[in-house]
Chains A and B, each alone.
Chain A
Amino acid sequence: MNQELLLGLYVLILTIFLGFEVISRVPSLLHTPLMSGTNAIHGIVLLGGILVAGTADRPILYLLGFLGCALGAGNLFGGLVVTDRMLEMFKPRAEERPAAARPEPAGAGVQAVREKEPVRKP
Chain B
Amino acid sequence: MIESYREALIDLAYLVSAVALVFGLKRMSAPRTARSGNQISAAALLLAVAVTLLDPHITWGAANIAVLLFGIGVGTVASVYLARVVPMTAMPQMVALFNGMGGGTAAVVSVAEFQRFAASGAVSSGEAVSVAFGTTIGSIALTGSLIAFAKLQELMTGRPVRFRLQLPVNVAAFLGIVALWVWLLGLAGGATVVWLLFALALLFGVLLVLPVGGADMPVVIAVLNSMTGLAAAATGFVLDNQILIVAGALVGASGSLLTVLMSRAMNRSLANVMFGAFRMAGRAAAVAEAKPIREITAEDAAVLMAYANEVIIVPGYGLAVAQAQHQVRELADELEKRGVEVKFAIHPVAGRMPGHMNVLLAEANVPYDQLFEMEQINEEFQRADVALVVGANDVVNPAARSDPSSPIYGMPILNVDQARNVIVLKRSMRPGFAGIENELFHMPQTRMLFGDAKESLIKLIEAVKAA
Q: Which residues of A contact B (CB under 8 A)?
A: 2, 4-5, 8, 11-13, 15-20, 22-58, 60-62, 64-93, 96-97, 104
Contact = CB atoms under 8 A, between A and B. Distances in A.
**Residue in A39, A51, A75, A86 with the greatest tally of chain B CB atoms within 10 Å:** A39
Interface of B: 21-22, 25-26, 28-32, 34-35, 37-39, 41-42, 45, 48-49, 52-53, 55, 57-60, 63-64, 67-68, 70-76, 78-80, 82-84, 86, 88, 91, 94-95, 98-99, 101-102, 104-106, 108-109, 111-113, 115-116, 124, 126, 221-222, 225, 228-229, 231-233, 235-255, 257-258, 261, 337, 339, 346, 348, 351, 353-356, 358-359, 362-363, 365, 367-371, 373
Nearest to B109: A48
Nearest to A19: B253
Given A60-B115, A68-B105, A91-B367, A29 B29 contact: no
Given A26-B29, A30-B34, A47-B244, A68 B254 contact: no
Given A32-B359, A33-B359, A78-B83, A93 B367 contact: yes
A20 B79 CA distance: 29
B300 to A, nearest CB: 26
B79 A73 contact: yes
Contact of A28 (B52, B78, B261): B261
A75 B57 CA distance: 24
B232 A16 contact: no
Contacts of A4: 126, 240
A36 B91 contact: yes
Contacts of B241: 47-48
Contacts of A85: 83-84
A67 B72 CA distance: 9
A27 B363 CA distance: 18
Given A39-B98, A41-B21, A47-B244, A77 B348 contact: no
Given A29-B31, A79-B98, A85-B84, 4 more contacts: A15-B245, A41-B251, A42-B231, A71-B104
B358 A32 contact: yes
B251 A49 contact: no
Contact of B244 (A45, A53, A65, A86): A45
19 contacts: A22-B25, A28-B354, A36-B95, A38-B254, A39-B225, A47-B52, A48-B241, A53-B68, A55-B58, A64-B111, A65-B64, A65-B68, A67-B108, A68-B105, A72-B101, A73-B76, A74-B101, A83-B38, A86-B91
Given A35-B353, A80-B42, A49 B362 contact: no
A90 to B, nearest CB: 4
Nearest to B57: A55
Nearest to B102: A75
A49 B253 CA distance: 23
Interface of B is mostly: helix
Given A29-B373, A54-B64, A82-B91, A73 B75 contact: yes
Nearest to A93: B367
Given A38-B251, A47-B52, A50-B53, A69 B67 contact: yes
Contacts of A31: 258, 261, 348, 353-355, 358
B106 A61 contact: no
B367 A38 contact: no
A8 to B, nearest CB: 5
B45 A64 contact: no
B368 A91 contact: yes
B109 A92 contact: no
B75 A84 contact: no
B71 A8 contact: no
Contact of B355 (A13, A34, A51): A34
Given A49-B109, A54-B57, A74 B41 contact: no
A74 to B, nearest CB: 4
